[in-house]
Amino acid sequence: MDNSAWNGNESVVVPGIAAPSTVACARSLGRRGIRTIVVSSDETTPAFQSKYCDEAVRVPSPHEDLVAYKEALRSLAMRPDVRTIIPVREPDIYVLSKYRDEFAEYVSTPWPTFETLARAQDRMRLFDAADTAGVAAPETALFTTEPDQERKWIVKPRYTILGDEYVDEYTPETCIAPPSTQYLESTRGATTEDIHTEMHHVPLVQEYVSTTEEYGFFALYDEGDPLATFQHRQRRGYSYAGGPSSFRESVDIPALEEAGLGLLDELDWHGLAMVEFLHDEETGEFKLMEVNPRFWSSLPFSVQTGSDFPYYYWLLANGEQDLIDHEYQSGIGGHLLRGELLYLHSVLTKDIDLVEKPSVTEAVTDVAWSLYDQPRFDYLSRDDPRPFVRDLWNTLSALR
């Protein structure tokens, strides 16, 4: 790719998804005069409503035909104004890395090779890498036999995405999001074969770490060297058992930095990564959960703290990584309002094994106070209100 000086007409392709990361990219780059092309198979994606979406393009769903999705992205990459593509979900980074050479002819490719990516998306290989790097992790094994029933366990997919590179019987067109993590108590009575069928592959069984302290370590790497990092602690997820972040606060913890860098250095990482950890209250260790090799759903909050990762990514893609001036404010919080609604909904309607549920009064009070005390929001923006309205409407429609 020609990394000559910008001429003011450069564009970036961003997949439009339900998570607010697409809108964060559009706002960050659009405010700097960089054209954003939002692509999605879903006309209700909130990013289509942003005033910083310069061009909205309908593309095939990667979950229906991954090769057709790749071809749509490649067609856009061939345009002379397009400089790069931003991965915001697992199918994006999977297809971009798998077909990296096809994209490299036309755009900058600040994402890992597929061999590197597979070490993150295959959790067995990921935990092997953590062991080599000296990064703590829960006891993990393939779920081929029932584990010790005297201990607490969870069952989770081995792969963060199911495609032909990981599951032999799949075709290149196939791309399936794996089922959610299960608490093993909820699977008592099911055979290992039942679980394999439900998960569409042989999943993992993992030691259950009893803690509410979830942390994220975020980084942008350039061929094995970190360019920018960020940390947050998750205070609430979509569910009272965890999940994606609905309320989080920025932190700066040396031990968390050491663990995150240690793992990504071992992987010889390139591009974006979010490393998820649980803080084991008994041992004091940060224990690895997984790596998300693309932009994270709480990206708007990272930007609000001063860590403008979409712009950092753009600089890297254009060979201007020396211009990255990285710092952020720790000790502040931010919300995804849809996530807060889902959290309260989980308290009202769900009972999850192994996880103590807060009372409705406690949950409502905590949410209300944090909204008042830390009024920062992923979608809600005075100068760009329509994505928030669209996201709220989508959420209420889904809860009906």
Whether residue 302 contacts residue 328, with contact meaning beta carbons closer than 8 Å, is answered with yes
**Residue 84 to residue 68: CA distance in whole angstroms:** 19
Which distant-in-sequence residues (6+ apart) come within 8 Å of 227 by Cβ? 219, 220, 221, 312, 316, 321, 324, 326
**Residue predicted with more confidence, 370 or 183:** 370
Residue 8: predicted pLDDT: 65
Query: Which pTM does this prediction carry?
Result: 0.92
pLDDT digits (tens, 9 = 90+) for 279-337: 988 888 999 999 999 999 999 999 999 999 999 999 999 999 999 999 999 999 999 99
Domain spanning 11-115, CATH class: alpha beta
Q: How many residues does the chain have?
A: 400
Q: Which of 396, 296, 381, 392 is closest to 337 using CA atoms?
A: 392
Are the C-beta atoms of 167 and 194 separated by less than 8 Å? no
**Tell me: the pLDDT tens digits for 1-52?**
444 445 668 999 999 999 999 999 999 999 999 999 999 999 999 999 999 9
Strand ranges (DSSP E) for 82-178? 82-85, 140-142, 153-156, 162-163, 175-176
Least confident segment among 78-82, 182-186, 328-332:
182-186
How high is the pLDDT of residue 170?
A: 94
For 214-399, CATH number? 3.30.470.20
| 48: its two tokens | 């289509």
User: What is the average pLDDT across 124-149?
Assistant: 92
Q: Mean pLDDT of all residues in the chain?
A: 92
At 6 the pLDDT is: 53
- Average pLDDT over every residue of 363-381: 95
State the span(s) of the chain assigned CATH 3.30.470.20.
214-399
**Residue 351, pLDDT score:** 85
- C-alpha–C-alpha distance, residues 64 and 173, integer Å: 8
As a whole number of angstroms, the distance between CA 60 and CA 41 comes to: 5
Name the DSSP class of 181. Answer: P
> Which of these ranges, 151-155, 194-198, 371-375, has the smallest mean pLDDT?
194-198
- Average of pLDDT values for 265-270? 98
Percent over 70 (pLDDT), the chain: 96
Residue 78, pLDDT > 70, answer yes
- Is residue 113 within 8 Å of 273, Cβ to Cβ? no
Rounded to an integer, what distance in angstroms lies between the CA atom of residue 120 and that of residue 311?
A: 24
Question: Does residue 382 have a pLDDT over 50?
Answer: yes
In terms of C-beta density within 10 A (0-12 exposed, 13-18 middle, 19 or more buried), how is residue 369 classed? Answer: exposed
- Identify the pLDDT of residue 2: 41
Q: Which uninterrupted H or E stretch holds 2?
A: none
What residue has token string 């979409």?
310
Residues of the chain with CATH 3.40.50.720: 11-115
* Positive or negative: CA dihedral 288, 294, 300, 306: positive
Do 329 and 250 touch, CB atoms closer than 8 A? yes
Q: How many angstroms separate the CA atoms of 295 and 388, rounded?
A: 19
Query: Given the structure tokens 């490649």, which residue do they identify?
Result: 74
Query: What is the Cα–Cα distance from 150 to 207, expressed in whole angstroms?
Result: 11
Average pLDDT (122-150) is 92
Query: How far apart (Å, rounded) are the C-alpha atoms in residues 187 and 142?
Result: 16
Q: What is the per-residue pLDDT across 81-100, written as a single tens digit (0 to 9) for each?
A: 999 999 999 999 999 999 99
3-state DSSP assignment of residue 250: strand
Question: Which two structure tokens, joined as six digits, stand for 341?
Answer: 């609604």
C-alpha dihedral sign at 222, 93, 260, 21: positive
Residue pair 76/57 in contact by the 8 Å Cβ criterion: yes
Could you report the per-residue pLDDT of 234-245, keeping only the tens digit for each?
999 999 888 888
What is each CA distance from 168 to 137, 200, 201, 248, in whole angstroms? Answer: 28, 11, 10, 39
